[in-house]
């Protein structure tokens, strides 16, 4: 880890109070960045604020377009132009997730809203300035569920594959202007939601990954930091699988 790699850079992260978002915020802060973060559960930001002092923490609903626009404006006012956007926020139907024949359009719309439309909205907010400045990094959150097609997650898989298609199209549009756009697609990562799963489910997840273990949020954060760094300046339109080999391209 290079404590100076993102020195002077402004990083914006959605859904950053817990799990992968929080781990990624910490990674960028540890490497010198100024971080603007938004989450409905702002209590998770307390430790990061006290530890670094380079964090703008905003409580807000990422499915609210006006809240995102206000967050973006506050980030610009506090830290200046956005260098890196990590569109982390997203969610499956969770307790409402069922096989497709029993699913409802209400849940589809929620999953698409939080997992795809928030990504598009935030990218739309930062892309014009990145394009004008001739530099920038956008990293979007997909999922290996989009590639594997897990039963009971048809809406989530559709939304996350939508993120992949959006990533590729936006990467092609912005590449001539020095802006890269990539996605990460994690598999089983130990988060709060994951910790609520029954032991038998955990065992099946482990068995399905050749690596044989469940990753930590920090494993994803390191990959996001790579894609946001100058080391990845010639990488764009790609989806990096972080799933222990469950899906191999």
**Catalytic residue numbers, as ranges:** 156
Specify the DSSP element, H or E, that contains 85: strand 84-87
Distances from the Cα of 77 to the Cα of 42, 47, 73, 163, 244, angstroms: 20, 23, 6, 28, 40
Q: CB of 25 within 8 A of CB of 55?
A: yes
Please say whether the beta carbons of 22 and 190 come within 8 A.
no
In this structure, the number of other CB atoms found within 10 A of the CB of residue 10 comes to 22
Please report, for residues 59, 99, 199, the alpha-carbon distance to residue 107 in angstroms, rounded to integers and kept in the order given. 24, 12, 27
């Amino acid at each position: 880890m290079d404590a100076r790699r993102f020195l002077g850079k402004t990083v914006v992260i959605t859904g950053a109070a817990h799990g992968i978002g929080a781990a990624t915020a910490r990674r960028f802060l540890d490497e010198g960045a100024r971080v603007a973060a938004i989450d409905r559960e702002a209590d998770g930001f307390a430790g990061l604020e006290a530890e670094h002092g380079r964090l703008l923490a905003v409580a807000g609903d990422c499915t609210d377009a006006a809240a995102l626009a206000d967050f973006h404006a506050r980030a610009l006012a506090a830290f200046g132009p956005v260098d890196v956007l990590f569109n982390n926020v997203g969610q499956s139907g969770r307790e409402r997730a069922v096989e497709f024949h029993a699913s409802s359009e209400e849940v589809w719309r929620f999953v698409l809203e939080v997992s795809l439309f928030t990504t598009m909205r935030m990218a739309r907010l930062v892309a014009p300035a990145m394009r004008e400045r001739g530099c920038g990094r956008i990293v979007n959150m997909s999922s290996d569920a989009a590639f594997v097609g897990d039963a009971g997650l048809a809406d989530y898989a559709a939304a996350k594959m939508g993120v992949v298609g959006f990533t590729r199209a936006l990467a092609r549009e912005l590449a001539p202007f020095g802006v890269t756009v990539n996605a990460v697609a994690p598999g089983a990562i130990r988060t709060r939601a994951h910790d609520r799963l029954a032991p038998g489910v955990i065992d099946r997840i482990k068995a399905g990954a050749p690596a044989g273990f469940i990753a930590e949020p920090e494993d994803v954060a390191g990959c996001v930091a790579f894609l946001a760094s100058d080391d990845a300046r010639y990488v764009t339109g790609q989806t990096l699988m972080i799933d222990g080999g469950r899906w191999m391209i």
